[in-house]
């Protein structure tokens, strides 16, 4: 009887331990979950392991590039995105994240090319079109092409109207283009979304002084 109980408890222990190990392994291997939880280095490491066993796994390139950009490893993100695009030249996710990497590297023309390609081909739902338009607007601001920035940032806030930072940048682009009434509208919307936005408050004050 005692031997039977010992065997039973041993089996139960092994089953529980196996389940726990399996669960932990799955958690560690889910690079997308790690990325969404802000554990970028771990996500990158998992993607590296996946690519070591399957160099043509496009999903691993995508998640790795997202994690690399989020971890501010922009040169590595650019390199990996280009590697992924050699395998899957029409993957729009890699196209967009390549644009982000190049944007942060200061490669304005290269980034703009990727974003334009992305917004021309991406689906309307479940995509990063708003983000792409936002970065396009920031590039135009860098180039002092403020009317173009207005158009791109207006498209960005139309896609995702609840991001106060984007409204602030739209207000700034309009302010620089001397479209003061429209700038006030953008700053007001930013303040409506985030009443503690210092940038929006300062921008509105600047523009208001020019209208009086």
pTM of the model: 0.83
Residues in contact with 65: Cβ distance below 8 Å, sequence separation at least 6, in sequence order: 77, 80, 81, 84, 94, 97, 98, 101
Residue 200 near residue 190 (C-beta atoms within 8 A):
yes
- Give the whole-angstrom CA distance, residue 91 versus residue 58: 9
Q: So what's the pLDDT on residue 127?
A: 84
pLDDT in tens, the chain (212 residues): 555 544 544 434 444 344 433 333 443 469 999 999 999 999 999 999 999 999 999 999 999 999 999 999 999 999 999 999 999 999 999 999 999 999 999 999 999 999 999 999 998 766 899 999 999 999 999 999 999 999 999 999 999 999 999 999 999 999 999 999 999 999 999 999 999 999 999 999 999 998 87
**Burial (CB count within 10 angstroms: exposed 0-12, middle 13-18, buried 19+), residue 116:** middle
- Give the whole-angstrom CA distance, residue 102 versus residue 77: 9
């Amino acid at each position: 009887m005692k031997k039977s109980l010992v065997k039973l408890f041993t089996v139960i222990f092994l089953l529980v331990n196996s389940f726990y190990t399996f669960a932990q392994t799955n958690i560690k291997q889910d690079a997308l979950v790690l990325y969404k939880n802000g554990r970028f280095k771990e996500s990158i490491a998992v993607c590296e392991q996946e690519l070591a066993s399957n160099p043509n796994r496009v999903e691993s390139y995508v998640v790795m590039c997202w994690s690399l950009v989020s971890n501010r490893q922009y040169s590595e993100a650019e390199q990996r995105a280009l590697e992924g695009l050699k395998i899957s030249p029409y993957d729009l996710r890699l196209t967009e994240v390549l644009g982000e990497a190049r944007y942060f590297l200061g490669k304005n023309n290269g980034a703009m090319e990727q974003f334009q390609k992305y917004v021309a081909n991406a689906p309307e739902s479940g995509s990063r079109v708003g983000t792409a338009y936002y970065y396009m607007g920031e590039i135009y601001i860098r180039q002092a092409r403020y009317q173009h920035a207005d158009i791109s940032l207006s498209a960005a806030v139309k896609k995702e109207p609840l991001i106060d930072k984007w409204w602030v940048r739209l207000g700034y682009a309009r302010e620089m283009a001397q479209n003061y009434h429209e700038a006030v509208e953008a700053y007001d919307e930013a303040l409506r979304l985030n009443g503690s936005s210092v940038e929006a408050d300062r921008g509105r004050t600047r523009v208001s002084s020019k209208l009086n």
